């Protein structure tokens, strides 16, 4: 595939593992099995789990290391660098243009006050990342080449492939949970602490923003205020 082509050009080698999980009686995840290879030519694709660990404990650790490595590539190149940094550049530019350099009314708008701090130093740190982490050129060697299995080129190809499926409407935390197959409201009784803590933060932010916006709009000209929101969109 495209990611593999870029990585092989840099003489890097890695696995793209499959992992099967199960839920135990306590609502916790356990590893059912790990498969590192994807042979389609008749060769056997070995499965590693707690049973095979009894005969070859180091091999099972090796398999888990490659799962963690693959997960790290996806997290750092797509979820972190892609979704947290690059994807939100145009949003930062729009907020700055509408609320920082717009009409006097727009410069005082509550939405601008709420969003502004999120984009402070955003473009600066992205510029730094482009010129260090994933830089290309005869002089600069990308930091990602040394620190990641995919390397900078392979990581950017992975980012581009994943970004094709990116939708703004899917970015809310409850919707992200649904996409992953989990109920945001914990009706499944799973001990999923990321979800439980994340939903507490989500509700806290939602309540704060709703209250701030309602207080700001109180006794103000909604048509005038909504013009700024229309310009932002």
pLDDT at position 187 over 60? yes
Which domain, by its residues, includes 108? 2-166
Q: Does residue 24 lie in a domain region? A: yes
Q: Does residue 150 lie in a domain region? A: yes
Which residues does 203 contact at the CB level (< 8 Å), separation at least 6?
none
Q: Does residue 59 lie in a domain region? A: yes
Q: Does residue 191 lie in a domain region? A: no
Question: Could you count the other beta carbons within 10 Å of the beta carbon of residue 93?
Answer: 13
d(CA 94, CA 88) in angstroms, rounded, equals: 10
Q: Does residue 232 lie in a domain region? A: no
Report pLDDT digits (tens) over 125-148: 999 998 888 887 655 667 788 788
Report pLDDT digits (tens) over 36-69: 998 899 999 999 999 998 998 899 999 999 999 9
Q: Does residue 185 lie in a domain region? A: no
d(CA 69, CA 129) in angstroms, rounded, equals: 21
Using a cut of 0.85, tell me whether the model's pTM lies above it. Answer: no
Q: Does residue 131 lie in a domain region? A: yes
Number of domains in the chain: 1
Q: Does residue 92 lie in a domain region? A: yes
Three-state SS sequence of 160-179: HHHHCCCCHHHCCHHHHHHH
């Amino acid at each position: 595939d495209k990611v593999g082509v870029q990585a092989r050009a840099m003489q890097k080698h890695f696995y793209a593992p499959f992992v099967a999980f199960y839920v135990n009686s306590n609502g916790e995840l356990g590893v059912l099995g790990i498969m590192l290879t994807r042979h389609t030519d008749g060769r056997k694709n070995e499965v590693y789990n707690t049973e095979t660990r009894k005969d070859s404990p180091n091999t099972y650790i090796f398999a888990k290391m490659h799962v963690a490595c693959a997960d790290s590539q996806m997290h750092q190149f797509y979820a972190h660098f892609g979704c947290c940094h690059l994807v939100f550049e145009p949003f930062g530019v729009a907020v700055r243009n509408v609320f920082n350099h717009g009409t006097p009314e727009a410069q005082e708008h509550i939405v601008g006050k709420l969003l502004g701090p999120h984009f402070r130093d955003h473009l600066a740190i992205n510029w730094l990342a482009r010129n260090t982490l994933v830089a290309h050129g005869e002089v600069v060697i990308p930091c990602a080449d040394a620190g990641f299995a995919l390397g900078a080129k392979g990581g950017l190809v992975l980012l581009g492939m994943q970004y094709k499926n990116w939708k703004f409407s899917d970015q809310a935390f409850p919707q992200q949970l649904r996409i992953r197959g989990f109920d945001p409201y914990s009706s499944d009784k799973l001990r999923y602490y990321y979800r439980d803590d994340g939903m507490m933060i989500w509700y806290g932010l939602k309540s704060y923003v709703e209250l701030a916006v309602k207080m700001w709009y109180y006794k103000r000209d909604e048509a005038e205020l909504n013009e700024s929101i229309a310009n932002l969109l």
